[in-house]
Amino acid sequence: MFPRRTLHGALAIMAGVALLAGTAPAADAATADFPAGYEGYHTYAEVTAELQKTVANHPDLARLSSIGKSYQGRDLNLLTISSGSGKPEVLFTCNQHAREHLTTEMCLHIVQRFTDGYGTDSKIKSMVDTHTIYVVPNVNPDGSEYDISGGRFHNWRKTRKPVPGSSAIGTDPNRNWDYEWGCCNGSSSNPSAEDYRGPSAFSEPETKALADFVDAHQIKAHIDFHTYSELVLWPLGYTTSPTGPDMTQAQAQRFQSIGKSMAATNGYTPEQSSGLYITDGDIDDWAWGKHKILSFAFEMYPTGSNPGFYPDDSQIVPQTTRNDPAVDLLIAQAT
């Protein structure tokens, strides 16, 4: 993992720049750091600094850009790793759900491994030379910063955009995708619910920005990292049937085969997403249904509610490196 450097005095990026017709949405209280015992995790500002450092250290291999802005004005950072153009594209996304901070560390580990390892590991060099790897470490930066605001955890899952016509704040970004949105009792219409799907598909700027990025590229394979339960999940999530209008039996069998192979490397349990519970409007169903991307969700460590969403920072290295073989296996599928 990245050696963590404390950014003394760093504040969460705030959207306070004046616009012609007013001001951008106000950000929540500035974040100083994670609570005691969790300082090894990276705040949004520290994630950004690490990505900038990666580009400085590997200017011919890594490029930092933004796919858009969060509701509160934070850049949705994208780190591109490539030694050339015109190669099969693979995408890794993390931190759709705010409190799932271990996933951001997973994306940072992928960045570190495929850049720092390029010059010394022939296997990594071969994967980078034959693919373009995209990494989005913070899909929901407003929510993740709020979750640690005030030096304590808030058990926050959603975005931070107020819900129109309601006193509630936030939408579950992984129920906000425009594929079978709200179809099948796999999300809630209640703005106060944790799995509130939003007033409309892609109502959240974060999901819309990521979708626009995917629409503009030729992504072949994808993992969306979550916590917790130690699962490898594949579409379909909106139905218990392994097949549907956009999934043939042969395609379902391919998902099962690859999912089981990845789970064999990390000790996770492999299953169709709906085997956990029905979801509608999630990114993996959308990625497959709209673009035929080989898209999986990983539910990382732990298996249960203790420590649940908040494992201490001693788990960062073992739980991120644990997924190296599975990440490699997925990249090999992108042809």
> Catalytic residue positions?
299
Question: CB of 66 within 8 A of CB of 35?
Answer: no
Structure tokens at 193: 């619910």
β-strands 18-19, 22-23: how paired? antiparallel
Residue 224 main-chain phi, psi, to 5 deg: -105, 115
Rounded to the nearest 10 degrees, the angle between the axes of helix 324-333 and helix 122-129 is 40
Report d(CA 302, CA 147) in Å as an integer. Answer: 19
Residue 62: its H or E element: strand 62-69
Question: At 80, is the secondary structure helix, strand, or coil?
Answer: strand
Buried b (16+ CB within 10 A) or exposed e, 220-240: bbbbbbbbbbbbbbbbbbbbe
Report d(CA 147, CA 242) in Å as an integer. Answer: 35
Evaluate the omega torsion of the peptide bond into residue 162 and state whether it is cis, within 30 degrees of 0: no
Report d(CA 143, CA 326) in Å as an integer. Answer: 28
Residue 212 main-chain phi, psi, to 5 deg: -60, -40
Q: Give the residue from 216, 205, 228, 229 showing the smallest Cα distance to 291.
A: 216
Q: Give the residue from 279, 219, 274, 226 showing the smallest Cα distance to 252.
A: 274
Residue 30 main-chain phi, psi, to 5 deg: -60, 145
